[in-house]
Amino acid sequence: MNATRSRTLAWDATTAIEALAAADSALWIWTPALDEMRFTGSTRPLGLGPLAPECSAAAFVAVTLPQDRSLAEGLLTPREEGTEIAVRLRMRGSETCLWRGVWLEDGLRAAGLVALETKFAGAQKDQLTGLLDRRGFLARAADVLAVPGDYELVVADVDRLRRLNEALGHERTDLVLSALGSRLAAAFSDQASPARIGEDEFAILLPRPATGNAAERVREALEQPLRVAGFDIYPTVSIGFVSCEGGADAADAAELLRRVELAVGQAKGAGRSGAAAYGRALESDSLSRLALEADLRNAFVRGEIEPFFQPIVNLNTGAVAGFEALARWRHPKRGLVPPDEFLGLTEEMGLMNDLGLMMMTQSARQLSDWLRRHPRAGKLFCSVNLSVGEIERPNLIEDVARVIRETGLPRGALKLEVTEGDIMRDTEKAAVILQKLKDVGASLALDDFGTGFSSLSYLARLPFDTLKIDRYFVLTMDKDEGSAKIVKSVVNLGRDLNLEVVAEGVENASLAKLLLDASCHYGQGFGYAPALPAQEAEVYLNESLSDGTAPLKQRSA
């Protein structure tokens, strides 16, 4: 290499200092025997201006934020030669900085580079909330857990985020998530390392509180009502948590997070606003879940999933008017698997459209058979739920037309139930699809009316035949005046729009009487019967035809 080229590529001290300054970085050297920390480079943006060009260990620790002083002391503790250093520290007046280095010369000195965390491999910040992202949280947790002490790791999963996306759209849902992130940051100091570790998951890691409960503090922070784009939102979260110890024998941060997410899954299985602590039993549950996934795929092939039928009764005459088909899984070893154990899994595995088509086909065939063998049943109908998003799947209209044609069902006998979320995403597109479904012979019901985020304006424009009142309002209408008013309002609205109204949650004769007084058309609930296998549902239908009315419990069990 010639001399000119050598001079061109040479790095002198001035060039190095300019490069460090441009990158908001600095070199550091720590010599314990001299009690001296020296800096070269851009110290002011890093919060090291008052210390440069050299300082003592005590001065260095004093400038770090109080919650990070134990980490700063750990950085200064002599180690064996070759021991690497990677720690995040926050100095007064600066953002979080990443210190990287290595111990040299039999542990006599340590040297390395310090820079704003945002300069290393991206910001490791969640762009939406400004909290740490998953990678940043794991790195921060590893630093914290290196210090001896008792800690608690908490993860909160926002319930029904998909429902929010469907009803509000992604942009408005992002506003909700951003607000939740701000609330978490306000409720906990940076010491808790608040983070958004997934689309709908938030996490904190903090010293185990002497009093109180960290999981409940997270719930209090996140489960506060908020208003977004004119909608009142009442968020709920499912929470998992684990207690852990820091120090040399601390568990790996990623492993702890895996454990907590198992607990979150347990909490979500218990319903909204659930909470669960990690325990060893969850490990076997996780393995069982893998086995259940494999069994579920086979269940579709082996025909183990079948419709059960819950009666829907004409409140005025007491006769069975129809049934709602609900999916049940007859597992060859476990017996009847509850729907809340496999429907969520079916959705996660992307099998909901397959389930929807299977349920529609089998239910239509069963209804056709009943109509042929029980002519006295009159205009018997069967309701089948369209799963979330199924209204937009390709070939839905063709499949419905084919099923009605092949089974010979009368027009309107097959009733398809959709949710508000399905039509709120794109009301105009939904209107076109719904009209085509009616044109091929299906009737349409709007399920759980009153529980979503809809306005009433679309009801007059969409071709529904039926409104279904959510069971919560029906169950509480004899005790809660507000629920009673909602039920009556929906019934009146239905009549004004020439829509039939079905009330779910009819548990006894008293509720049936209240609904009849409100002029509601149909009732459905355990007061009449649960969802029954096809053979038992036919027996129930026969009894209703023989007696003239469907059996009804006088009181709730």
Q: pLDDT digit string (tens) for 418-460?
A: 987 777 777 888 889 999 999 999 999 998 776 554 456 677 7
Measured CA to CA in angstroms, residue 30 lies from 19, 115, 266, 300, 348 at distances of 21, 16, 48, 65, 52
pLDDT score of 334 more than 90: no
**What pLDDT, in 10s, does the model give residues 79-125?**
888 888 888 888 887 877 888 889 998 889 999 999 887 665 445 78
Better pLDDT: 58 or 10: 58
pLDDT score of 395 more than 60: yes
Alpha helices in 303-351 (DSSP H): 339-348
Taking Cα atoms as reference points, which of 370, 381, 452 lies closest to residue 419?
452
Residue 179 and residue 158 in contact, taking contact as beta carbons nearer than 8 Å: no
The pLDDT of residue 195 is 92
**What pLDDT, in 10s, does the model give residues 19-47?**
665 667 889 999 999 999 999 888 888 88
The helix or strand, by DSSP H or E, that contains position 414, with its residue range, turns out to be strand 414-418
**What pLDDT, in 10s, does the model give residues 467-484?**
999 888 899 998 888 889
Better pLDDT: 447 or 398: 398
% of the chain with per-residue pLDDT over 70: 90
Better pLDDT: 417 or 336: 417
Model confidence band, residue 274 (pLDDT cutoffs 50, 70, 90) = confident
Taking Cα atoms as reference points, which of 116, 107, 117, 114 lies closest to residue 60?
114
The pLDDT of residue 279 is 78
The pLDDT of residue 155 is 95
pLDDT score of 305 more than 80: yes
Give the residue carrying structure tokens 């086979």. 298
pLDDT score of 271 more than 90: no
Tell me the Cα Rg of the chain.
32
Tokens for 539, please give them.
């027996």
The pLDDT of residue 363 is 97
Model confidence band, residue 378 (pLDDT cutoffs 50, 70, 90) = confident
Residue 275 and residue 267 in contact, taking contact as beta carbons nearer than 8 Å: yes
Better pLDDT: 548 or 511: 511
What is the reported pTM?
Answer: 0.56
The pLDDT of residue 120 is 59
**What pLDDT, in 10s, does the model give residues 191-209?**
678 999 988 999 999 888 7
The helix or strand, by DSSP H or E, that contains position 483, with its residue range, turns out to be helix 481-496
The pLDDT of residue 97 is 85
Which residues are 469's β-sheet partners?
449, 503
Which amino acid type is present at position 138? L
Q: How far apart are CA 38 and CA 438, in angstroms?
A: 78
Tokens for 438, please give them.
């009616």
Which of 159-163, 203-207, 239-243, 509-513 comes out lowest in average pLDDT? Answer: 159-163
**What pLDDT, in 10s, does the model give residues 349-372?**
888 999 999 999 999 999 999 999
Q: What is the mean pLDDT of residues 401-425?
A: 90
Average pLDDT along the chain: 85
List all residues 6 or more positions away from 214 whose beta carbon is below 8 Å from its beta carbon: 152, 154, 204, 206, 208, 241
Model confidence band, residue 399 (pLDDT cutoffs 50, 70, 90) = very high
